Amino acid sequence: MASDSAGSVQPCVLEHVTKKFKVRSRDRRERRTEFVAVDDVSFTIEPGAAVALVGASGSGKSTIATMITGAQRPTSGSINYGEIAVHSLRSGGLRRYHQDVQMVFQDPYGALNPLHTVAYTLQRPCRNLLGLSAHEADKRVQELLEQVGLAPATQFAPKLPHQLSGGQRQRVVIARALASNPGLIVADEPVSMLDVSLRAGVLRLLAELRESRGLSLLYITHDLLSARVVTDQILVLNKGRVVESGVTKDVLQNPTDEYTVQLLNAIPHPFAAAS
């Protein structure tokens, strides 16, 4: 079925991307200083690849995510999705680009309008980005709900966000991201606000959808172990710089960067007490 495969899956190439923010200086003589949140970052997400971007809080992960989706522009450097120069897109181009690249945010509570039903939330991208008729959009909503494990769809479509659990809401957010048949999904800490018991299910769903649709995934997390479940490649970010990259399994087994070792050591070991 056409609606089951990704739309335009293109390489996403970041070259020397830097983002500086102006911040108020504590020193009164110097009123404003620059803070480098992302520092000369280059990497490529190949079509169909699942890449993890890991790093401690404040290391620049979300800033990279928002630059890839075009919500913020780099201070310097370039981001290209296939032929599209994302770093210089304006409103019309950005709208078309959002058919190809979609984002799943950390907070499934804040991401959904509390006044809109699940059906309405999912119909909108089908109509606005894909130009489907009301009837076609309805059909697509049913398919999307079933694909994210919210079945029977007729039970979930009329619900409002507060009538859903956190895990169900995040599935709706994922369905909304899939609605336009994107080629790349950027998921920024998509399970960190969910109950521990629900995390594995949502991660498995992301991994399965990526595989079955052949889309690319940038999975952002501070949790190195979850990166292993979802991704083949990993980039480790420290203070805005990529300090290590490679095959996820290898990097986690044999980290060469001191900071990656620290991140791995910070993970509580489930059997530590028993040994």
Q: In this complex, which beta carbon is closest to ligand ADP, that of residue 220 or of residue 251? A: 220
- Our finding on whether 62 is near ligand ADP (CB under 6 A) is yes
Sign of CA dihedral 175, 181, 185, 188: negative
Amino acid at 230: V
Q: Closest distance between ligand ADP and the C-beta of residue 72, in Å?
A: 8
How many residues are given for the chain? 275
Determine the Cα–Cα distance for residues 199 and 226; give it in Å rounded to an integer: 9
- Our finding on whether 58 is near ligand ADP (CB under 6 A) is yes
- Our finding on whether 63 is near ligand ADP (CB under 6 A) is yes
What DSSP assignment string belongs to 112-174? S-TTS-HHHHHHHHHHHTT---HHHHHHHHHHHHHHTT--SHHHHTT--GGGS-HHHHHHHHH
Question: Which string of x and - marks every residue 31-70 that binds Mg ion (by CB under 5 A)?
Answer: ------------------------------xx--------
Report in angstroms the alpha-carbon separations of 250 from 52, 58, 231, 232.
13, 25, 12, 10
Q: Closest distance between ligand ADP and the C-beta of residue 60, in Å?
A: 4
- Our finding on whether 181 is near Mg ion (CB under 5 A) is no
- Our finding on whether 61 is near ligand ADP (CB under 6 A) is yes
Member of 8, 10, 59, 181 binding ligand ADP (CB under 6 A)? 59
Peptide bond into 270 cis (omega under 30): no
Which has the closest alpha carbon to 67: 38, 34, 40?
Answer: 38
Q: In this complex, which beta carbon is closest to Mg ion, that of residue 61 or of residue 171? A: 61
Which has the closest alpha carbon to 100: 217, 185, 218?
Answer: 185
Report in angstroms the alpha-carbon separations of 254 from 247, 249, 261.
11, 9, 9
Q: Closest distance between ligand ADP and the C-beta of residue 55, in Å?
A: 5
Partner from ligand ADP, Mg ion, none contacting 123, C-beta within 5 to 8 A by type: none
Question: Which string of x and - marks every residue 18-57 that binds ligand ADP (by CB under 6 A)?
Answer: ---x-x-----------x-x-----------------x-x
Q: Closest distance between ligand ADP and the C-beta of residue 67, in Å?
A: 10
* Residues at the site binding ligand ADP, with contacts judged by CB under 6 A: 21, 23, 35, 37, 55, 57-63
* Residues at the site binding Mg ion, with contacts judged by CB under 5 A: 61-62
